[in-house]
Structure 1
Amino acid sequence: MRNSICTSVVLAFIFYNTALAAANEDEDGSERDSPKPGHSNFLRSNYLSGSQQWQFTWCAHNASVCKDPAKFPSGGTKCCWNRFCVDTKVDPSNCGGCNKPCTYGFSCCAGKCVDLLRDRKHCGSCDNICSKHSQCEFGLCGYASWEKKKPKNKMKASPPASPKYPW
């Protein structure tokens, strides 16, 4: 019994390695470039796709580079510390100006730190305004609350008639 379990485990290991090696080959039999051990495929894919999310535009020599959409496509508005461009309208670490971080749980909307879970003018996302009669709860307008609406006709609502019981 023990030998059959060991044999099954060894065969499964061999099958797994064979499948892994086959998946790492191109159609012509050459081996594909695989990521280095310990490196995230997510970060590697962003690097290869040309994502500029983690790149900074340096403005040490020319602060006007921050306003040039060709050099800084995400629209930096300010050169902070004479080093890099920052969009102070949406960056929670530099909200409204350099080195003005929002506190934990707050986001930066139009250069102001707001609570997206409770702010009626920024409910769930920036500039998502709740209606006049609803509150912003958990980032949703009117979540678990009863909106008070006035009836269209001005007649008073009468209570429902009580049921007539046979006894």
Structure 2
Amino acid sequence: MDVPEGSKWCPDCGSVKSLAEFARTKARAGGYHSYCLICHNARGKETKDRLYGGSREYHLRRRYGIDGAVVAELLAEQGGVCAICGADDPQHVDHDHRTGWVRGILCFNCNGGLGQFRDDPDLLAAAITYLKGTTWRRALIHPGVYRISSPARGRLPSRSS
């Protein structure tokens, strides 16, 4: 088969495609995978489905060393809600980045929040102190009369607050 310059033949789909349609790799002398991106991705999906029962199972085993049954068990222990905020149907596995141990199942926001604070209890405590010290509060002055105040700042909240 005559393959023009800048192209490659894919043995799965049997067609000649431009090199841009093949994934790059340092593992092969030519610098490109044997199969085009579409066939390469289809082969990967088929393998995950065949060996692990799906992409989620594959990632759970690869990243955390657990399977869907362990996730279901953890979720049942938590009452089917996020371990932090109690939101329904959490989907994210939380783990300690130093030890790799799975801690629980969290909602997207709680999992992301812990990640943003780098799992550091001191940073989280500082954030709590900050919120308690600067959050605007309604203080009851007289029955039915409230004053909006902040213990740390004397500015009024913006109109958009």
TM-score by length of 1: 0.28
Q: Pick the structure with greater CA Rg.
A: 1
Higher relative contact order (CA 8 A, sep 6+): 2
Normalized per residue, the structure richer in strand is: 2
Normalized per residue, the structure richer in helix is: 2
